[in-house]
Structure 1
Amino acid sequence: MSAQVLANVTAVVVDGQVLLIEGPPGAGKSALALALIDRGAVLVGDDAVTIARRDDRLHGSPPPNTAGLVEVRNVGVIELPVGEGPVALLLALDPGAARFPLEIATRTIAGVAIPVLPFAPGDAAQALRAEHALREHGLPLPKPGESA
Structure 2
Amino acid sequence: MTAAATASVHASSVLVGKHAVLIRGASGAGKSRLAFDLILAGRAGQLPPAVLVGDDRVHLEARGGELVVRPAAELAGLIEIRGLGIRTCDFAPEAIVGLVVDLAAPDADRLPQPEALWTRIHGIEVPRIPVGIGYTAAPLVIAALTMTANSPSPRPSADCPKGIGNHISPTIATE
Q: Which category describes the TM-score, using the shorter chain as reference length?
A: 0.7 to 0.9
1:93 to 98, 103, 107: 103
Between the aligned partners of 2:37 and 2:87, the Cα distance in structure 1 is 15
- Count of residue pairs the alignment pairs up: 140
| TM-score, normalised relative to structure 2 | 0.69
Aligned partner of 1:30 in structure 2 is: 32
- 8 Å CA contact 1:104–1:117 kept in 2: the answer is no
**Partner-residue secondary structure (3-state), 1:99:** coil
Between the aligned partners of 2:40 and 2:140, the Cα distance in structure 1 is 14
Higher relative contact order (CA 8 A, sep 6+): 1
- When the two chains are superposed, the root-mean-square deviation of aligned CA atoms in Å is 2.4
Distance of aligned partners of 1:11 and 1:121 in 2 relative to their CA distance in 1, 3 Å threshold? farther
Aligned partner of 2:63 in structure 1 is: 54
- 8 Å CA contact 1:17–1:88 kept in 2: the answer is yes
2:129 to 112, 117, 131: 117
Between the aligned partners of 2:7 and 2:131, the Cα distance in structure 1 is 23
Counterpart code for 2:23: I
| TM-score, normalised relative to structure 1 | 0.80
Whichever structure has more strand as a proportion of its residues is 1
Matched, 1:64 2:78: no
Counterpart code for 1:114: V
Residue 48 of structure 1 and its aligned partner are, at CA, apart by 1.1
Structure 2's unaligned 5+ residue stretches are 43-49, 154-175
Between the aligned partners of 2:133 and 2:20, the Cα distance in structure 1 is 18
Residue 123 of structure 1 and its aligned partner are, at CA, apart by 5.5
Between the aligned partners of 1:65 and 1:140, the Cα distance in structure 2 is 29
Aligned partner of 2:16 in structure 1 is: 14
- 8 Å CA contact 1:56–1:112 kept in 2: the answer is yes
- 8 Å CA contact 1:53–1:59 kept in 2: the answer is yes
Residue 38 of structure 1 and its aligned partner are, at CA, apart by 0.4
Between the aligned partners of 1:51 and 1:112, the Cα distance in structure 2 is 11
Whichever structure has more helix as a proportion of its residues is 2
